[in-house]
Structure 1
Amino acid sequence: MIKNNHRMELESFDLKVLIVDDEKANRKILKELLQEQAKIIFAKNGEQAIELAHKHTPDLMLLDVVMPDKSGFEVIETIKNDPVTMATSVIFITGLANCHDEERGFALGGCDYIYKPFNTNIVTARISTHLELIQQRKMLDTIAHIDALTGISNRRKLDKVLKSELAANKRDKKQLLVAMLDVDYFKPFNDNYGHGAGDIALKKVSVLLREVLKRPRDFVARYGGEEFTLILPDCDEHGAKQVLQNIFTALSDKAIQHEFSDVSDYLTMSVGAVLLNGDSLLSAKDVLVKADRLLYRAKNNGRNQTVLEII
C-alpha cells in the first residue's frame, strides 16, 4: 500500500523517463515497470535518443550502452554538453559486467548501472530510488531559485541560466537577447503609496512579463529591487523589438497609477538590452554590466524607453 502511494506521489510531479534500447522486448519490460511512476518516452537508437532528449528534457534516461549507431557513452557525452539536457540523470543498461566500462560511465556523468537480463525487483527499486532523489532535487531547486515576493526566478537562477544560454548561443551560432528592465521612479511610488502597494505593483509586473514571454526557453527573473532581467534565446532584432514593445504595451494596459512619476501618470519601465551574436566573447558578468549601462542610458534619455545594442 505504501508503495502505491509513493508511485502516485512521483507521478504527480510529471517526471519523464526516456528509455533508450534497440531491443523492443527490453523497452516493453521497462515500460511496464515504470509507467505508473513517470511519463515514458522511447528511443530505438543513439541519434533518436539525443533528439528526443533535447525535445522533451527527461528527468531520467535509461541508456543502453551497446547500440548500432552510437554507443551509450557517445550519447551521454552529447547530452551532458547540451545546456538543455545536461541535468538529465542517466542510468546505463548493459549486458556486460565490466569494471572498465563502469568507471567510464560514471566518469561521463552516469549515476547507476542496470544489468541484463533484468531482475525486475532490483530494477524497480533502483529506478524508484533515483526518481525519488530527482523529485527531491527539483523541489529544493525550485525553492532555492524562486523570488519570494514575485514567484518568478531569482538572481541565483538567472546566473545559471545566463551561463548556459551563452554557451548554447555560441554553439548554435544564433542570437541571444539579454535585457535589464527597471520600473521608473519606483522610490517615489513606494514613498507615497506605501511598500505594500509597491509589492503589489512588482507582482503585477512579474505576471505581465511571464504572460508576454511565450516560448518555453524564454526566461525572466527578478534581478533585485525593482529590476528584472529577460533572457530570450534564438531571438533576432525584429523579434527582440517586438517582445519589448509588447511588454511596454502590456504595462500600459495595466494602467497602474503613478502620479509621482515625472514621465507618466502610470507606471512605466526603462530597458537596456543587448542582442548577442553567436560569436560574442562576452562573459555572463560582462553581458549584465553592458545591459545595465544601456539601461542607465535609457534613464538618462528620459526613461520609459528602450536602448538596444547589437554585439
Structure 2
Amino acid sequence: MNRTPAFPRQADRRGRILVVDDQPTNIMVANQILSPEHDIFMATNGEQAIAFCRATPPDLVLLDVEMPDMNGMDVCRHLKDAPDTGGIPVIFVTGHQGQEQEIACWEAGAVDFVTKPVIPATLRNRVNAHLTLKFQADQLRSLAFTDGLTGIANRRLFDERLDQAWRHCQRSGATVALILSDVDHFKKYNDCYGRSAGDECLRQVAAALQVQAQRPYDLAARFGGEEFACLLPETSLAGAVSVAIRMEAAVRELRIEHAASDVSPCVTLSLGVAAIEPEADADFRQLIERADAQLYLAKGTGRGRVCAV
C-alpha cells in the first residue's frame, strides 16, 4: 500500500518566522505582533540570518532593508541564490518609500514588503497570506516529489536538487558529493520472502538512510527500484565516505533476515561514492557516472561495502 506524507491542517500549523533587524526594538515589535500565532526567531545581522536559514530553514523571513555590513538586499539575493534557501519567502521591512525602492525589493527576490512604522494589522495579514501560500506549496511539492512506497524523496526531486546543487557549487567553488547504493541481492530477497516483504524491506532501508542525511540541504532519495541516492552539497570525498560508512552500518543494524544472500544472513548495501568540484563547462551527469562506477566496483568485489573515488 502506498504511503503519502501526513500534513497538519494549515489552521493548526504555526509558522516559523525569522525576523532580521539590527535594531532590537524593531525585533521586539514584530515579536509582539506575530508571536501569538507563530514561532519567532531573531537575527541582528545578515550573516546570522543566512546561517540560521541554512541550518534550520524558516517558513518566512521578515527582513530589514537597511543594516550595516550586509544590507537586506544582499541577504535576500544570497538566500535566493542558494538551492537550500531559495524557496524561503522574504518580506522586506523598509522605512523608504518610492518606486525605486519597490523595484529594488522585487528584483532582489522579495515576495512583498511593508513600510515603517509597521501597522500591526497590515503585518499580520501580509505574513499570514504568504505563509498560507508557502504551506500550500509545501504540500503540493511534497506530494509531487515523494516516493509513494518509501516516503523519502523520489527521482524527480533528486534530479532537481542535483541540478541546483551543481550550479551552486559551480558558482561557489565548493565540492558536491553523491552516494549511490543498492540493496544486495534484492531479487533473491523478493523471491525468498515475497514482494510484500520486499516493499517493507525497502521502507526500512530508506528510513535508515534518511537518518544519515543529517543536514537540511542533504537529500536521501529513491533512485530507482532497490537503488538509493544521497546528495551531499558542499561535502568533500572524505566526508561523503564517512556518511556512506554510517549508512552501510545502519542497514546492517536493521538485522533484516536475508537467507538467500551470500554476503550476510541479513540485508546489506553496496555503496559507491564520488565527489567533484564542478567546473564551468562540466555536466552533473559526470558525478552520477563516477558514483555509479564505484557502486559497480563495490558489487563486483564482494558487496556489502563502500567504494569511493
TM over 0.5: yes
CA contact (8 A) 2:20 2:61 kept: yes
CA contact (8 A) 2:244 2:273 kept: no
Match of 2:187 in 1: 187
Q: 1:121 corresponds to which letter in structure 2?
A: A
SS at match of 2:13: helix
**CA separation in 1, counterparts of 2:68 and 2:241?**
46
Q: 1:125 corresponds to which letter in structure 2?
A: N
Match of 1:306 in 2: 306
Larger radius of gyration: 1
**CA separation in 1, counterparts of 2:139 and 2:127?**
18
Identify if the C-alpha distance between structure 1 residues 294 and 51 changes in structure 2 by more than 3 Å, giving closer, same or farther. closer
Matches within 5 A, 1:48-67: 48-67=48-67
Identify if the C-alpha distance between structure 1 residues 56 and 272 changes in structure 2 by more than 3 Å, giving closer, same or farther. closer
Cα deviation, residue 147, structure 1: 1.1
Cα deviation, residue 89, structure 1: 0.7
Cα deviation, residue 178, structure 1: 0.5
Q: Deviations over 1:3-24 (max 9, x none)?
A: xxx996231xxx3212223344
Q: 2:92 corresponds to which letter in structure 1?
A: F
Q: Deviations over 1:209-236 (max 9, x none)?
A: 1334444443211111100001234444
Q: 2:13 corresponds to which letter in structure 1?
A: L
Unaligned runs of at least 5 residues, structure 2: 1-8
Match of 2:97 in 1: 97
**CA separation in 2, counterparts of 1:83 and 1:92?**
21
Matches within 5 A, 1:143-292: 143-171=143-171, 173-277=173-277, 282-292=282-292
Q: 2:151 corresponds to which letter in structure 1?
A: G
Structure-2-length-normalised TM-score: 0.85
Cα deviation, residue 168, structure 1: 4.3
Match of 2:127 in 1: 127
Q: CA RMSD in A?
A: 2.6
Matches within 5 A, 1:106-145: 106-145=106-145
Work out the number of aligned pairs and report it: 301
Q: Deviations over 1:19-74 (max 9, x none)?
A: 22334443222211111222212233444433443344222112222334333222
**CA separation in 2, counterparts of 1:55 and 1:249?**
26
CA contact (8 A) 1:10 1:131 kept: no
Identify if the C-alpha distance between structure 1 residues 49 and 263 changes in structure 2 by more than 3 Å, giving closer, same or farther. closer
Cα deviation, residue 268, structure 1: 2.4
Over the matched positions of the two proteins, sequence identity in percent amounts to 35
Match of 2:13 in 1: 10
Q: Deviations over 1:115-145 (max 9, x none)?
A: 2222222221111111111111122222222
Match of 1:3 in 2: none
Unaligned runs of at least 5 residues, structure 1: 1-5
| Larger displacement relative to structure 2 (131-140 or 68-77) | 68-77
| Larger displacement relative to structure 2 (121-130 or 24-33) | 24-33
Identify if the C-alpha distance between structure 1 residues 257 and 26 changes in structure 2 by more than 3 Å, giving closer, same or farther. closer
Identify if the C-alpha distance between structure 1 residues 112 and 211 changes in structure 2 by more than 3 Å, giving closer, same or farther. closer
Structure-1-length-normalised TM-score: 0.85
Q: Deviations over 1:61-91 (max 9, x none)?
A: 1222233433322221122112332211111
Cα deviation, residue 180, structure 1: 0.9
**CA separation in 1, counterparts of 2:136 and 2:99?**
30
| Larger displacement relative to structure 2 (111-120 or 235-244) | 235-244
